[in-house]
Amino acid sequence: MQRKFQRLASLGIVLASLAVAQDRTSTLIYGGDWSDLITLDPQVSYEFSGGLITDNLYETLVKFEGADLSTLKPGLAESWKVERGGDSWVITFKLRKGSKFSTGREVTAKDVVYSFDRAIQLKGPSSFLFIDIAQLKVGGTKAVDPYTVEVRIPKTASPGSFLSILTFNIGGIVDSEEVQKHAKGGDFGKEWLTNNSAGSGPFRLVRWDRGSQVLLEANPNARLKPKLQRIIMREIKEPTVLRTALESGEIDIAEGLTPEALKAVAANPRFKTLKADSLRLNYLGMNVKPGSPFANPKVREAMRWAVNQDELVNGLVQGNGTKIQTIIPKGLLGYNNALPYKYDPARAKKLLAEAGYPNGFEFELLTSTGLCGGGIPCQDIAAKIQSDLAKAGVKANIKAIANAEALKIYRAQNHQVYLGGWSPDFPDPDGNATPLADFAAKSLAWRNVWEDATSSKLANQGSLETDPSKRAALYKLLTDYALKSGPYVILYQPAIPLGFSAKVEGYVRNAQGQVRFENISKQP
């Protein structure tokens, strides 16, 4: 009898081991610094990590596929058309029949109307995309029938830009019944959707353990069937821990490897590596509010002469980034390759003296404890900038805190100088021009209190111009102007360094930062 029990126990261990192995094969563990994650509400999320995750929880009417950011493809809408309608553009979408939310309810036109109106009424960080760029108003989206949606935007807005905006997570369609069921005090379900999902994407949110991980499971009702059953987004802020986790097999994908770790991983046949293109810019944002040293344009110009960009890109970043000084990234119309600023601390000192700071000044440099673009710890970049500025007589006191907390301070205009990253919300130059140049958009220009009539006018003109050559000329004027007068020191345009287990297949990341998890698989 005892032997029988021993055999049964042994069999149980074997079966349990097989179950774990099978489960691990159907689970992808994706490690990276997700500390900027504030919410998983698609109409509120405006951070890199939030976009990466919500793209897989919610479907949009139109989308980009693979690495191609030039051709819109059908999403929840099987077709669409743009027509002139008097004083407005009329964009009509025909929805697919049979698309279902994770609740089992069918996606219909009323959900699209609710989602678009919700995005406007919430007035979240990305609402300006609908309100200011698309100039969409509540009531501008109508359900013609259960599978037909009509959107009207003014002739002063660009229908092309609007369609591109819809590929961003603000265009994610939520289950209107489910969200309203959880609404509190007119919040349109914002509190509930922070930690829950109500989408038709290939995955649904199971739980979010802040500071630890986000667990996604395959949506059983999804039209797009994923190849994996679950995705675990493991938060790993420390670069050495990230590398160790990949090499030990604890995680399958490591995003944000340091240049040294990337080289080591690439030399091991158990792994694959990728330097993914990005439209991201790493930069310094200077608060130019009255009374600040940075309110003086000569101080801002001195900062640009005082940063040794060549040493930063070729040294710390080790080539995992492109030197750039203008506000529209390489890869988009309007990219300006001008590089007028060279490292010249003597010239910076002269400008500071002319601005009334012959002995320099002191300020707080706010940054994240996590990684910046190219897999470099933000604190290392901050330390390099601190060292450069000191040679021009400027003392930078580094304040490094969790990314989400740093963003809250930055968004409240309570910083002096902020070191971080920015990527356009849609692959169009207006995705950078309006946020960085138009104060009224309440994005980066607003955060840095840069209210400039010239930059706002040029950004608005560029967004509405339909002739590519004329549009490029407007953006040349804008980028040259912001380069001289703006509140930014653009540092570099990073590549995204990733390491993978050789078992991972189907991973594609476009320059907008989108990864379609449903296409990823793992070999046994």
Between CA 310 and CA 306 the distance in angstroms is 12
By CB atoms closer than 10 A (0-12, 13-18, 19+), residue 79 is: exposed
- Neighbouring C-alpha atoms within 13 Å toward the C-beta of 81: 5
Indicate the burial class of 365 (C-beta count within 10 angstroms; 0-12, 13-18, 19 or more).
Answer: buried
pLDDT at 85 (0 to 100): 84
Res. 24: pLDDT tops 60: yes
Written as six digits, the tokens of 157 are: 């807005």
The angle, 0 to 180 degrees and rounded to 10, between the axes of the packed helices 430-437 and 453-464 is: 160
| Measured distance CA(115)–CA(108) in Å, rounded | 11
Calpha distance 273→312 (Å, rounded): 23
Which residues are 184's β-sheet partners? none
Q: pLDDT above 70 covers what percent of the chain?
A: 96
Alpha helices, DSSP H, located in 362-521 = 378-390, 403-411, 430-437, 444-447, 453-464, 468-485
How does pLDDT run across 488-508, given as a tens digit for each residue? 999 999 999 999 999 999 999
Q: What angle (nearest 5°) sits at the alpha carbon of residue 227, between those of residues 221 and 229?
A: 65
pLDDT of 11 reads 39
The reported pLDDT for the residue numbered 18 is 37
Tokens of 498: 């990733």
Kindly report, residue by residue over 409-418, the tens digit of the pLDDT: 999 999 999 9
**Can you tell me the mean pLDDT for 34-41?**
95
Residue 499, SS3 per DSSP: strand
CA distance 441 to 233: 32
What number of other Cβ atoms are within 10 A of residue 83's Cβ? Answer: 11
Chain-centre distance for alpha carbon 339: 26
User: According to the model, what pLDDT value does residue 3 have?
Assistant: 41
Q: What does the pLDDT read at residue 158?
A: 86
Cα 251 to Cα 273: distance, rounded to the nearest angstrom:
14
Across the range 88-98, mean pLDDT stands at 97
Residue 285 has pLDDT above 90, yes or no: yes
Phi/psi at 499 (5° precision): -120, 145
Q: Which domains does the chain have, with CATH numbers?
A: 281-494 (3.10.105.10)
Residue 366's beta-bridge partner residues?
A: 399, 418
- Condensed to tens digits (0 to 9), the pLDDT of residues 172-228 reads 999 999 999 999 999 999 999 999 999 999 999 999 999 999 999 999 999 999 999
Please report the DSSP string for 99-154 in residue order.
Answer: -B-TTSPBP-HHHHHHHHHHHHHHT-TTTHIIIIIS---TTSEEEEETTEEEEEEE
Q: What is the mean pLDDT of the chain?
A: 93
What pLDDT band is residue 464 in, cutting at 50, 70 and 90?
confident
Q: Which residues pair with 72 in a beta bridge?
A: none
Is 80 exceeded by the pLDDT of residue 439? Answer: yes
What pLDDT is stored for residue 100 in this prediction? 98
Burial 8-46 (b: 16+ CB within 10 A, else e): eeeeeeeeeeeeeeeeeeebbbbbbbbbbbbbbbbbbbb
What count of residues does the chain have?
524
CA distance 7 to 310: 67
pLDDT of the residue at 23: 74
Q: What is the pLDDT of residue 298?
A: 98
3-state DSSP of 153-167? EECCCCHHHHHHHCC
| % of the chain surpassing 90 pLDDT | 85
